[in-house]
């Protein structure tokens, strides 16, 4: 029997190829089988479309932030402005109260009521502010306003996915104003990523895709963190091979409690290996689409 691909050499082995969405078994020669194995390996490592001979993942970044001459957005000023006028009517504390300060009491802000674009579950999703390098100034502004952005640490990943719950002191109305200002800054940050800092955005997307395609061990916290920039890319309709709904479903199903730490080292490695294999297969055909290539070039 002749090889069903080259039709020249004798068939020596069987392989499975996908044709029209279905798997088909073909009998091929050893040379064609090796070529197909190499083609699949190259495809599994791709994050971008194109047939160039160089490596597929070429983006890099030396620092996060805008151009050297471009001032950063007035993050702190904008958030502080949301607070202006609120404290002007507050009277001075009495001497007795000053001597015996009460321990600060924080309330949880209901983030689940905010617009879905800027949250994952019940936490604010601030990946844009992180990528443009402004998340630390925002945290300092919140601290000055006696508010807190509380991230999630999971499986050794600090502030995984850059999602945060909000805690505040004082009136809920002023907290609402500050959060509204914060989300306006996150909206601006996402616009800046696409229009002013496309290489930073593209780097984050391609790094995530490269790891998801090729990792051998993957913890829940790592997976959540890698999916975070991909969620922004899916919102911007930049990905082929996966939808925003699928990414959202993955994110919602991840347990960030570090519960697997109770398992033995061997068992954790086994679970992480299975998770990595599953993501390798799921993201094998996911890459930047042609529209994204033009916007992130």
Q: What is the pLDDT of residues 81-132, one digit of tens each?
A: 665 554 444 444 445 555 566 667 899 999 999 999 999 999 999 999 999 9
Q: What is the pLDDT of residues 170-224, one digit of tens each?
A: 999 999 999 999 999 999 999 999 999 999 999 999 999 999 999 999 999 999 9
The Cβ-side half-sphere exposure at 71, using a 13 Å CA radius, reads 4
Q: Residue 16's Cα: distance from chain center in Å?
A: 34
**CB of 230 closer than 8 Å to CB of 205:** yes
Q: What mean pLDDT value characterizes the chain?
A: 84
> Which has more confidence, 140 or 63?
140
SS3 for 65-108, per residue? CCCCCCCCCCHHHHHHHCCCCCCCCCCCCCHHHHHCCCCCCCEE
Give residue for tokens 């914060």. 182
**CB of 73 closer than 8 Å to CB of 63:** no
DSSP class of residue 289 equals: -
**CB of 182 closer than 8 Å to CB of 130:** no
Band the pLDDT of 11: cuts 50, 70, 90. confident
- Residue 3 is predicted with a pLDDT of 83
**CB of 181 closer than 8 Å to CB of 118:** no
Mean pLDDT of 34-50: 68
**Tokens standing for residue 68:** 């050297």
Domain ranges of the chain: 1-33, 75-81+104-195
């Amino acid at each position: 029997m002749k090889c069903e691909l080259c039709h020249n050499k004798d068939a020596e082995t069987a392989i499975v190829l996908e044709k029209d969405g279905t798997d088909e078994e073909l009998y091929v020669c050893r040379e064609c089988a090796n070529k197909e194995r190499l083609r699949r390996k190259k495809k599994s490592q791709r994050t971008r479309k194109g047939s160039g001979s160089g490596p597929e993942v070429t983006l890099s970044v030396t620092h996060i932030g805008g151009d050297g001459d471009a001032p950063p957005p007035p993050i702190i000023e904008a958030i502080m402005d949301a607070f202006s006028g609120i404290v002007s009517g507050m009277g001075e504390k009495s001497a007795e109260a000053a001597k015996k300060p009460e321990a600060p009491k924080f309330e949880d802000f209901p983030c689940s009521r905010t617009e879905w674009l800027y949250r994952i579950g019940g936490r604010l999703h601030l990946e844009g502010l992180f990528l443009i390098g402004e998340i630390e100034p925002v945290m300092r502004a919140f601290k000055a306003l006696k508010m807190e952005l509380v991230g999630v640490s999971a499986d050794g990943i600090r502030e995984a996915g850059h999602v945060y719950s909000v805690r505040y002191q004082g009136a809920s109305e002023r907290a609402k104003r500050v959060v509204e200002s914060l989300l306006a800054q996150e909206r601006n940050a996402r616009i800046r990523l696409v229009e002013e800092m496309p290489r930073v955005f593209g780097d984050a997307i391609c790094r995530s895709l490269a790891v998801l395609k090729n990792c051998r061990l993957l913890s829940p916290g790592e997976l959540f963190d890698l999916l975070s920039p991909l969620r922004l890319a899916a919102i911007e309709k930049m990905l082929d091979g996966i939808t925003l709904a699928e990414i959202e479903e993955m994110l919602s199903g991840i347990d960030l409690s570090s519960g697997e730490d109770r398992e033995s080292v061997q068992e954790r490695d086994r679970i992480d290996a299975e998770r990595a294999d599953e993501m390798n297969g799921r993201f094998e055909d996911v890459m930047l689409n042609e529209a994204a290539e033009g916007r992130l070039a």
